[in-house]
Amino acid sequence: MLTKRIIPCLDVKDGRVVKGVQFVDLKDAGDPVELAAFYDEQGADELVFLDISASHEGRETMVEVVEEVAGTLAIPFTVGGGINSLADMKRVLRAGADKVSLNTSAVLRPELITEGADYFGSQCIVVAIDAKYDDELGSWRIWTHGGRNATEWEAVAWAKEAVKRGAGEILLTSMDCDGEKAGFDVSLTKAINDAVTVPVIASGGAGCKDDFYEIFEQSGCDAALAASIFHYKETSVQEVKVALKEKGVEIR
């Protein structure tokens, strides 16, 4: 059985880590390099860095910040935001990332997933999915450009398509739960996890240590990602891991 992973996330805008609620009302949460070093020391299994305004602003990921963050880390490091081509992937991987996260660019041009997987291997390609429940659809709809643009894609169908095209991992964010601290979206995560054969990272909604146990037990996902509860020291990676271990969850 694969051990469960705990992953802090750095949402970066203008060189600073920010956190909002349902993708809006962003507040400053600190320096990305300092936070990265802190989480490495804390025992985080991986770190995700998302340049959250790059796609919306039509620019490349902030490579110099990625280099600085990578220089502090001894754990796997995923970088996303504004990655639109193989050249962008190469640039970010050379800067020190271990994996690249594709979101808007993959929806707009799904062939990009296959190009990346063929060149670097599927283990290097994470497809990030921002999903929100849609009454009209009767399911979860995919949104792009940092949660600004609705698409025609239904979440489970898009996750299957992404994996078919070569995604080695799915980073799944519930826009409904993001920043609410009321728990992860179990039904969405389980639906995606049951539909694909690659690891699924649950994101959006962590409010306490018990939320991590609930999402692992009820959805079967492989990893859980959180931001604000770690950034603002409401709990720590170490405390979450201790609590999970006490409940018999296999962790690293």
Enzyme catalytic residues: 11, 130
Residues 6+ apart with CB under 8 A from 68: 32, 33
In whole angstroms, give the CA distance from residue 128 to residue 225: 12
Contact 139, 156 (CB under 8 A): yes
Q: Which of 176, 237, 226, 209 is nearest to 29 (CA)?
A: 226
In whole angstroms, give the CA distance from residue 11 to residue 81: 10
Q: Which of 87, 79, 71, 12 is nearest to 46 (CA)?
A: 79
Q: Which of 41, 92, 42, 98 is nearest to 67 (CA)?
A: 92
186: alpha, beta or left, given left = phi > 0 and alpha = psi -120 to 50?
Answer: alpha
> Quick one: tokens of 70?
């990578």
Single-letter amino acid, residue 51: D
Helix, strand or coil for residue 71? coil
Contact 139, 187 (CB under 8 A): no
Residue positions counted in the chain? 252
Helix, strand or coil for residue 132? strand
Single-letter amino acid, residue 202: A
